[in-house]
Structure 1
Amino acid sequence: MRTQDSQQGGAADEALADPPPAIGTDERRMHVRAYNFWVSLLGGRAFPSIDDLDPASIGDFGPNSVLLDFTADESNPRIAWLGRALREEGELGADVRTLADVPGRSLVSRLTDHFLQIIANRAPIGFEAEFVNVRGNSALYRGILMPFSSDGETIDYIYGVINWKELADAALTADIVAAADRAMAALRAEALVPAPTPAVAPSWADGPSRSFASPSSPAVEVGDESDLADALALARESASTAASSDLRSRAALYRAICHAYAFACATEDAPEAYAELLEDAGLKAQARAPMTPIAKLVFGAACDKTRLAEYAAVLAHARRHAVQPDGMTRFLDRFSGGLKAIVAAERAARRPAAARPDPRERLRETPAAATLAFSVEPEFVLLLGRRAGPGEVAILGVTDDSGLVERALRYAARD
C-alpha cells in the first residue's frame, strides 16, 4: 500500500514495488544459464545471429526450449525447434507446426503472452506465473525469451527456455502434510528431534503461496560466485523490465531498485566473486562511490549517466541507513517524495560541512530593507506580504514554522 506522500513522489520518479518473491534455485539457474548463453553469442552485435544457435546441441536446457521463426508470419510464428521436455509436458505431436497449433493448456502456449513484448523491447524478457496444465494440475513455471536475428538488425527469431514444477493436488498434499505431522509428533514424543520453527512457504509470482510469503523484498544469500551471478542476472532482468517502453512504471522501477540493492548487499559477502564480475565488465570498484559500479552492472553502462548517478545515490542512501534487503520496499514506500527525494537527501549527506555554510551567518550581516514592530521569539521568521501600491507592501502575517523558515533562509542566502 502506497502512502499519499509516496504517491505524490511517483510523478517525480517516472522513469527513475514490490519485488518478485524468491523462487527455487534450480529454476532460476536454468534461466540464468540460458541468459548467459545468449550473451556469449552476441559478439558485439545487437542480437546474436540465428546461424550460431543449434538447440539440439544444448544438452543443458535444449530439451526445455522452443525456437520461434517469425520470418513468414509475425503474428503466428513457425515452431522451428521444440525440445523433448516441452513436447512431453504439453503432449504435443508432430502436427504442431506453428504457435497457433499449440493447445491452450501447454507451457508453450504461454509464450503468446510475452513474445510481442520482446519484439518491442528488443531485449531478453523473463517471466513466471502459474497455470493449469493438460492433466488438470497446477504448475509453476519460469522462463526467458531471447531475441535472435538473421540479418543483425531485425528480430525474426525468438528462443525461449522454460522450467516448471507441477504441484500435487490438494487432497494428496493434505495427506502428505498430515503424515509428516504425525511422524514428527512421534519423534518429538521420543525426544529425538526438537520442535521445528515455522518456515515461510516458498513463493512464485502469481503463484498459490504468494500471499503467505512474509518478505516483500528480495533476500539474497550469497555463498559463491555462481550465486552472486544469479543475483546480478535477476537484478538485470528487473532493470530490463523497468526500462521497457510498454511496461515503464514506478512499480517496475522500484522492483529493479530493490533487486539492485539486494545484489549490492550480496557483494559484501562475496568480494572475490564481485571483483571478478567487475573485471569481466571492464569496471573498477570506487571507494568514494561504491554503488556506481553496482548501478552500471545492473542497469547497463550504456544507461543515461544522470539516471545511473541517481540509482547509485538511492542505493547508497539505503546502505547509509543500514536497510536490510528485505526492508528495501518499505524504505522506498515510506520515504516522502519518492526516489527524487532520496537522491537529494543522499547528495546533501555527502556534501562536506564546509560547503554548506549556515545561511544565518550570512543573513545576519545583510542590511535590513525595513524594520517592523512584531513580537516574535525566534531570530528568523517568515513574513507573508502583498503589494499594496507603488513602493508599498502590506504584511499579512508572520510564521516561525521551522521547515518554511529553513527553506527561505537557504533561498535568501544563495549566491
Structure 2
Amino acid sequence: MDSLRGFEEDAPAAWQGDDEPAPERPPEIGVDERRMHVRAYNYWVSLLGDRPFPSIQDVDPQSLEDFGPNSVLLDFSADPEDPAVAFLGHALRSECELDRSIERISEVPGRSLLSRLTDHYLQIIANRAPIGFEAEFIGLHGRPTLYRGILMPLSSNGEEIDFVYGVINWKVIADNETTDALAIEVGQSVAAAPAPSESPVWADGPTAHLEDEPALPALSEEAGLTLSLWPEEVEGDAVPAALDADAGLADRLGHARESASLALGADRRSRAALYRALDDAYAFARAAAAAPDDYAELLEDAGIKAQARAPMTPVVKLVFGADYDKTRLTEFAAALSWAEREGIVVGSLADHLESFPGGLKGIVAAERAHRRPAAKADPLAESRARLRAAPPIAEVPVQLPGEEEFVLMVARRTGAGLALVAPVADRRLVEQAIRKTA
C-alpha cells in the first residue's frame, strides 16, 4: 500500500478530492537506498532556474546513466486521460518483462512495478510539485517487493504540466512463508547444536550463549503457517457472525471492524473479503447517519473529527483504523461516497463492487470523475479564437509553405511601411506570440 508524500512543503495549493488528504512533506531521507530518489529530486531542482517547472526540452532520460534505467517519462500533452509512455528505462522494462510495444499507461500491467509509478500521476497534477512514495506490494510473480519512487512534473511551455518523469528503486524480500520456514530451520539447528566446550578459555566465547538454551518450539498452525500470500490459498474465508436487525451503532462498528480485520488488505486476503468489509463499513455509515448523536460520541472516543466536505473519511478511519494507509483510506471513502450518491441498498455494495468494471478502482475513478471540476478552457485556443475574430491591419498576397493558420513573421521597417523578411518556423515561439498578442 502506497504512502504518498510531497517534496515541496510550500507548494501552491490545488484542488483536492473531498476525502483526499493533501500530500505531506516526507521525513528526512538518509544515505540508504532512497538516495537514488534524492539524486533524482536534486537533478529536477537543478533544471528549475526561475521557472515553476523544468522544461521537457532539458530532460533526456537516455543520457542519465545514474537513474535513467530505473525511470519512465509520461507524456499526456495529447491525451491527459491516457498518457503516452515516451521513455521506459531498460532496468524497469526488464523487471516488468515488457517489450517495446507498450505505448500508453492503459497498457501497463496492473500488478507490475511500473504501475506503482503510473498509478500516481494524477496526484502530481493536483500537487504541482514532486511527490515521493514508498510501499511494499506483491508483484506479478508473487514476490514481495519494497519500492521507493518519485514523480516530478515537467512542462513544454513553462506554465502547464504536460510531462511527468518518474524514478523508482526496488528490492525483492522474502515472503512470510519463506521467513517462517527459515525461522523453523534456525530453531531446529540451534536445538540440535552440540553443547559448548567446558574449557575455561572458551567459556565466555561465541558459543557461550547456547548453554542451557531451550530449543525453539515448532510453530503451530495457529501461529500463522496456514496463511499465505494468495487468496486462493487462504484456508477458508472467514465471515463475521451476522448482526441482529436491532443491533446498536457500537455493535455495527464492531462488526465492520471485524470484517476489516479479516480482509487484512486486498494483497493478503481475497478481494471478496475486502469488498465484504466495505459493504459492512457502508452499512455502518448508513446507520451512523440515522443516529448522529451516537456517531458523534464514537468519533469523540476515537479522537477522530467529523468532516463536512468528506463525510465518509471518518467512517473508514473508525472501521479500518486512523493509522491505516492514507491512500487506501481515500479509496475506501470514495467507494462509500459513490454508494451513497448512487443510493446503493445496504448489504449489496459488495455485489456492485464485484460487478462494476474495474472493481474498487473503477468505482473510485467514477467517483473522482464525478467530483472533478469542469476542465478549464484552453488559453491557447481562446487566444487563437480572439485573433481569428480580430480585424486585419493589412493583407499581403504572400504564399508561404505549410498550412498553419497563424504565421509569425520577421519584418523590417522601411520608409513605405514594413518589409516582410522571413517567417518564424518555431512552433513554441508562434504559440507564445499568439498568447501575448491576444
| TM-score bucket of the superposed structures, by smaller chain | 0.3 to 0.5
In terms of fraction of residues, the more helix-rich structure is: 1
Structure number with higher relative contact order (C-alpha < 8 Å, ≥ 6 residues apart)? 1
